[in-house]
Structure formats: C-alpha cells, structure tokens
Amino acid sequence: MPSERPLDRIDARILRLVQSGERRTVSELASAVGLSPSACHRRLRALEADGTIAGWAARLDPAALGYRIEAFVEIGLAAQSNEALSAFEAAVAATPEILECHLMSGHADYLIRVAAADPADYERIHRERLSRLPGVSRMVSSFCLRTIRPWRGYVVPEGR
C-alpha cells in the first residue's frame, strides 16, 4: 500500500515525468528536476519502496500484437457471498485474456476488459473463458469503437 506521506514538489515532478511514458535515464530525469543523478536515484528508490511507484512497464500497441477488438464486459454474479466473490476473483486472476477486472457498485458486480483479434476470437474468449467463470449469472458486452483518450496516468498533485 502506498505511503500516505505528502509528496514534495520534486517528487511530484519526478512522478509526472516517469508516468509520461517517455524513456529517460536517471541522469536525464535528474537534470529535468534539478537534482544530481544520485539524489534522483535515491528518490526513485524511495518512491518504489513506499509503493507510490507500483512498478515499471512498457505500453504495448494492441494492433501490433494482433488485437483489433476491445470489449468491456459487465458481469453479474448469482451470489454475493464472500466465497462466491473470492472464487470469481481467483478465476479472473488465472485468466490471461482478462486485462482488467474491477469490483463495481451499481448494476454490474464486476467490469472486465478483454482484447481480441476479431469477432471469432472474442466468441472463443466468451465461450471458453468468460462463461466458465464461477458464479456468473449475467454478462453484457460492449465493444470499443474508437478510443478517444487512452490511459495516460493519474493526475499527480503539485506537492508541497
């Protein structure tokens, strides 16, 4: 769980830069925020250690990987017991085609996101993966026609 310590302005600038997706060396990052490379490296490690930086990853282009369809699927469960929720969540964690899963309030119990190569691939995922998740009583799929604003990260507060 991330630290609840307030961010200072330099930490906030570091976070904005590393979240931007532009690759930078520690030296380049240090120069951009006005620190020495060693001081910048210490701050990065501290932000990792306290959980503010949860990990490092590259953003991949789904089309380059052959994924042409993205679907958001609302899932309703037959039961709401702790056992039913835990069984569903464990099965989701073991299903590689599920890119994201969120426990929701409102109409759906869960919202999941999947990517597929084409309609036949989505049908396969639906039949072989989603419909076999434990406790599912209802699924409603919505397909992304076009992404207007892709995920680019969280708004980082200014810092003190």
Q: Give tens-digit pLDDT for 70-101.
A: 999 999 999 999 999 999 999 999 999 999 99
The predicted model scores a pTM of 0.84
Q: Can you name the residues that pair with 139 across neighbouring β-strands?
A: 75
- How many of the other CB atoms lie within 10 Å of CB of 104? 12
Query: Domain 9-49, CATH 1.10.10.350 — does that match?
Result: no
Question: What is the fold, at CATH topology level, of the domain defined by 63-143?
Answer: Alpha-Beta Plaits (3.30.70)
Please list the residue range(s) of the chain that carry CATH number 3.30.70.920. 63-143
Categorize the per-residue pLDDT at 22 as very low, low, confident or very high, splitting at 50, 70 and 90.
Answer: confident
Please list the residue range(s) of the chain that carry CATH number 1.10.10.10. 9-49
C-alpha 121, offset from chain centre: 22
Report the alpha-carbon distance of residue 131 to residue 128 in Å, rounded: 7
Report the alpha-carbon distance of residue 107 to residue 10 in Å, rounded: 42
Scanning the structure block, which residue is given the tokens 């702790």? Answer: 82
pLDDT at 105: 96
pLDDT at 3: 58
Q: Give yes or no for residue 2 having a pLDDT over 60.
A: no
Report the alpha-carbon distance of residue 149 to residue 160 in Å, rounded: 29
Distances in Å between the Cα of 11 and the Cα atoms of 2, 26, 42 are: 14, 14, 11
67-88 CB burial, b ≥16 within 10 A, e <16:
bebbbbbbbebeeeeeeebebb
> Across residues 129-151, what is the average pLDDT?
96
Report the alpha-carbon distance of residue 9 to residue 6 in Å, rounded: 10
